[in-house]
Structure 1
Amino acid sequence: MTVTDEAARRRGIEVRSIEYVPLAERHGKVSHIGPLWFMCNAQIATLATGLISITGGGNLIWSLIAIAIGVCIGTIFMAAHSSQGPQLGLPQMIQSRPQFGYVGALLVWLFAYIQYAGFNVFNGALGGEALGGAISSKQASNDLWIWVVTIVAVVIALVGYDFIHLFERYLTMLTILVLALVSVAAIVHLHIPSSQFDLGHFSATPFFGQVGVAAGYQISWAIYVSDYSRYLPADTKPSHTFHVTFWGSALGGIWMMFLGSWIAVSYKDIGSNTVVDLQRVANKLFPHFGTFALIVLAIGLISVTALNMYGGSLTLISSIDSFKKVNPTLGIRIVTLVLTAALSLGFAVLATSNFLANFNDFLLVILYLFIPWTAVNLTDFFIVRHGHYAIGEIFRPDGIYHRFGWAGIAAYVIGFAAMVPFFNVSGFFEGWISHAWGGVDISMFIGLPVAAICYWLFTRNLDVDAEKVLADEQIKEIEALASGVRQ
């Protein structure tokens, strides 16, 4: 740690990035994770994921059932990743090296970075629209607010881990109050036809489409989760980390998606402008409440954008490290944050209504890419290696995890290929099985088990016991070195 880094750390600025977090620096409470993951879903962008069934011809009751099922399924996988953080003390994506290799992990890191950038473009544009709509109706004002959203998010991400958790905890309390009032306005003032509660009106295509998008939306957080649990004490019970993450994320997701579906059946033009729809509903409670609600929820978008900036920076550092060894200082964090912000800002300002309208398609494609990864990563952690990794080897190009992990790469490719016939991205691609089934997309339920089983079969000859011995030796060496540096 350089003199500059030490000074920054004393001012509360995080200096670590992709490296292991020593036990002496572990801190925080597992309960702090809940508000963070609640806020990741309790924001405007999540509303849109609750519209899939309604816009596809389904009714409200089956939409709500599909949302609940999809969110719970997806969050199980996402929360399982969260339990990896305290045990390994590493960011999420760097943990892909034992499965995909020192260089091979670039495959999933590229997809991750595209996801971070894509979400930032969408969140920046939507946040700018929300703040611009609350304060001014001019497009120029919206562009100005996109700059504000991006800059504030970069500052939050730069200060880092502890400030992100603190910011989310306080924002959660205000957001719950606002969402409760908006929900009351929607329930009391919006007319819902009785046919929307008819269980006899079931349509498979919108139902499974909603289940898939809701589950996939939750799984999309899997590339983030260990980033925000890696500083917790190593003796944190995995079950505690899992449950707090699960309920925080699931409750936020279900609430916002339910609200989106509820509003959708009341406005014929729902989805044409999510910001305007939400403001109209909030204003039914009392005048100008919609403006206040938009501002609060736009701040929620800022917090999510900060997480994308933070994760994008870690992923970019990891990628650079695959080609040239990186000294993970504050300086490299600043450079990668600025690059990520510049990319996101440029596309957000230029984003057209067509991009925003097709965001769900973008989301589906990204989710298709990460379903095999989450299967491989979780199978390796919980079934193959049981959480025992040689931390030092993760940062060695010629270490035991090799440059290319062919077992992980092959399992990923096979899992992805098995999903293709079940894909259904409207206006872009429809697999032959999905087409034969009238557009039903169950690709997630194919890719997860296929990739997991293949990886398990491909790693049957691993000498896991020897790896565990090496892992124990290396963690002692790393901790001893960290202790010496502190002294």
Structure 2
Amino acid sequence: MTATETTTTTPTRRASGLEVRSIDYVPQNERHGKVSHIGPLWFMCNAQIATLATGLISITSGGNLIWSFIAIALGICIGTFFMAAHSSQGPQLGLPQMIQSRPQFGYVGALLVWLFAYIQYAGFNIFNSVLGGEAIGGAISTKQASNPLWIWVVTIVAVVIALVGYDLIHSFERYLTYLTVLVLALVSLSAVIHLHIPASQFDLGHFSPVAFFGQLGVAAGYQISWAIYVSDYSRYLPANTKTSSTFNVTFWGSVLGGMWMMFLGSWIAVSAKDIGTNTVVDIKAVADALFPGFGVIALIVFGIGLISVTALNMYGGSLTLISSIDSFVKVKPTLSIRVITLVVTAALSLGFALFATADFLGDFNDFLLLILYLFIPWTAVNLTDFFIVRRGHYAIAEIFKPNGIYKRWGWAGIGAYLLGFAAMVPFFNVAGVYTGPAAHALGGVDISLFIGLPVAAIAYWLFTRRVDVAAEQELARQQALEIEEAAAAHELP
């Protein structure tokens, strides 16, 4: 049996059918599943209406279809490369994604990125629950599409899925993939057949730098935004899972889902009379053009997809909140702490979703840019540490010690992050909010992505030249058996 298909029958640690583990290490005797299962999960995370709305950015900024497609393809591939690299960390470390930031930023210093991560979880939940509510409400009755009841329904069902935990999330996404692919294929067929696309939309001579780089940046940012979740859903895989297998399955699942939906969003946008005013209405109209009543089916399926991705945000938000609390008060991972943090995360998301602005597309665009700006330096620091500095070798027990070898404040990571972010600021371009001098000089083109990544990565590499990696690896080997025994007993120090 290859590493790609390695599987065991050992279930996730549970109490009354609910997952207990949260930020703690997953011992070898609880590792299970196939790496191939994470492909459908990441396909489904992108094969939903919020992703489709992201494909409208270039069109609404004055670009045409062919350059929108090119920008989307490049942006998705760039962003997913980094996201999939994070995914490969899960089986090796057996830890959720955000807790892995402690070796770079410190036991307390990691709060910097955890705060940003929690904002992202809450933000995506707002957009996803609003869209999910509109989709399900619109399928039942056009008059009820904006009824707050459906936002409540999306939130509650998502919390239940997140509470049951890792295994249900994987199974739910895997089986939903089959239905979504069928519906999405039919909607795409209807769009190609029934929507008129002017010939000018395929003119390569019509190039708008602002629209092109705006779309590329948002597409890349959308994919990179998954980086803070990704190891959460690979950490239970057997430790002998090949890094390349985890990377490839994550990459292609995410790329296919994201590219398909964003392409469809652009295609619909160039033929819609009211571009970007109501994504749910546009999807229903395109589906109904294939045969009457299909619009209702499509909205229900896409609505369920938004519930599933909201569950991921609830799950990840809970892990991040537990990590943050643990920086101040030692947390023993239990079912109770999972329930409490899930309820808090859901309450915050629901509260903001019920009062969300009607300017969905504009707000979503700005939100994605904010995520891109905040997490580019983090992803550079985290991946440089994992693949270049420490090469995947960490003393797991030390991650949970306030005064361990990774210290309370990781000034190398914090300094590199701040330098990377500072280098990006002149290249920021948030319409109507801020245009940096470099972006202004470039005619409004935002290339901050390509500035922050190398600056943060190189700075971190330079700042960690004196790290005694050999000593850390020896400590990790000494602690390996101890950490396995402690985690199996659910008594991680």
Per the normalisation by structure 1, the TM-score is 0.97
Corresponding residue for residue 4 of structure 2: none
SS for the counterpart of 1:353 is coil
Point out the more displaced range, 348-357 or 122-131: 348-357
Point out the more displaced range, 50-59 or 381-390: 50-59
1:474 equivalent to 2:475? Answer: no
| Superposed CA offset, 1:57-81 (max 9, x none) | 1111111011111100100000000
In 1, are the aligned partners of 2:395 and 2:479 still within 8 Å (CA)?
yes
The equivalent position to 1:438 in structure 2, one of 439, 443, 449, is 443
In 1, are the aligned partners of 2:138 and 2:144 still within 8 Å (CA)?
no
Corresponding residue for residue 354 of structure 2: 349
Q: By how many angstroms is 1:437 displaced?
A: 1.1
In 2, are the aligned partners of 1:131 and 1:142 still within 8 Å (CA)?
no
Corresponding residue for residue 318 of structure 2: 313
Where do residues 128-207 of structure 1 align in structure 2 (5 Å cutoff)? Answer: 128-139=133-144, 142-207=147-212
Distance 1:7 1:116 in 2: 24
Distance 1:356 1:73 in 2: 23
Where do residues 389-408 of structure 1 align in structure 2 (5 Å cutoff)? Answer: 389-408=394-413
Change (3 A) 1:269 1:355: closer
Point out the more displaced range, 284-293 or 141-150: 141-150
Q: By how many angstroms is 1:140 displaced?
A: 8.0
Q: What is the identity, as a one-letter code, of the residue corresponding to 2:337? A: I
Change (3 A) 1:439 1:311: same
Q: What is the identity, as a one-letter code, of the residue corresponding to 1:152? A: V
Change (3 A) 1:399 1:357: same
The equivalent position to 1:125 in structure 2, one of 130, 142, 150, is 130
Q: What is the identity, as a one-letter code, of the residue corresponding to 1:411? A: A
Corresponding residue for residue 60 of structure 1: 65
Q: By how many angstroms is 1:12 displaced?
A: 3.3
Distance 2:93 2:51 in 1: 30
Change (3 A) 1:224 1:484: closer
Q: By how many angstroms is 1:356 displaced?
A: 5.5
Corresponding residue for residue 216 of structure 1: 221
Change (3 A) 1:309 1:105: same
Where do residues 326-365 of structure 1 align in structure 2 (5 Å cutoff)? Answer: 326-354=331-359, 357-365=362-370
| Superposed CA offset, 1:417-436 (max 9, x none) | 00001101111111111111
In 2, are the aligned partners of 1:122 and 1:356 still within 8 Å (CA)?
no
Q: By how many angstroms is 1:205 displaced?
A: 1.2
Q: By how many angstroms is 1:8 displaced?
A: 8.0
Distance 2:433 2:161 in 1: 37
Point out the more displaced range, 235-244 or 48-57: 48-57
Q: By how many angstroms is 1:352 displaced?
A: 2.1
Distance 2:488 2:377 in 1: 39
In 2, are the aligned partners of 1:71 and 1:253 still within 8 Å (CA)?
yes
Distance 1:49 1:459 in 2: 37
Corresponding residue for residue 386 of structure 2: 381
Corresponding residue for residue 71 of structure 1: 76
Q: By how many angstroms is 1:268 displaced?
A: 3.0
- Superposition RMSD in Å: 1.5
Structure 2: any 5+ residue segments left out of the alignment?
1-10
Corresponding residue for residue 237 of structure 1: 242
Point out the more displaced range, 247-256 or 210-219: 210-219
Q: By how many angstroms is 1:99 displaced?
A: 0.3
Q: What is the identity, as a one-letter code, of the residue corresponding to 1:481? A: A
The equivalent position to 2:257 in structure 1, one of 249, 252, 257, is 252
| Percentage of matched positions with identical amino acids | 80
Distance 2:129 2:12 in 1: 32
Corresponding residue for residue 412 of structure 1: 417
Corresponding residue for residue 41 of structure 1: 46
Distance 1:484 1:264 in 2: 55
Q: By how many angstroms is 1:351 displaced?
A: 1.1
| Superposed CA offset, 1:304-333 (max 9, x none) | 000000000000000000000001100000
Distance 1:42 1:79 in 2: 17
In 1, are the aligned partners of 2:53 and 2:361 still within 8 Å (CA)?
no
Structure 1: any 5+ residue segments left out of the alignment?
1-5
Q: What is the identity, as a one-letter code, of the residue corresponding to 2:453? A: L
Q: By how many angstroms is 1:475 displaced?
A: 1.6
1:107 equivalent to 2:112? Answer: yes
Distance 2:276 2:49 in 1: 12
Per the normalisation by structure 2, the TM-score is 0.95
Corresponding residue for residue 280 of structure 1: 285
In 2, are the aligned partners of 1:421 and 1:433 still within 8 Å (CA)?
yes
Q: What is the identity, as a one-letter code, of the residue corresponding to 1:453? A: I
Distance 2:338 2:101 in 1: 20
SS for the counterpart of 1:138 is helix
Q: What is the identity, as a one-letter code, of the residue corresponding to 2:301? A: V
Distance 1:10 1:73 in 2: 40
Q: By how many angstroms is 1:355 displaced?
A: 5.4
Change (3 A) 1:290 1:485: closer
In 2, are the aligned partners of 1:119 and 1:308 still within 8 Å (CA)?
yes
Figure out how many residues of one structure are paired with residues of the other and give that number: 481
| Superposed CA offset, 1:202-257 (max 9, x none) | 12111111111111110000000000000000000000000000000000000000
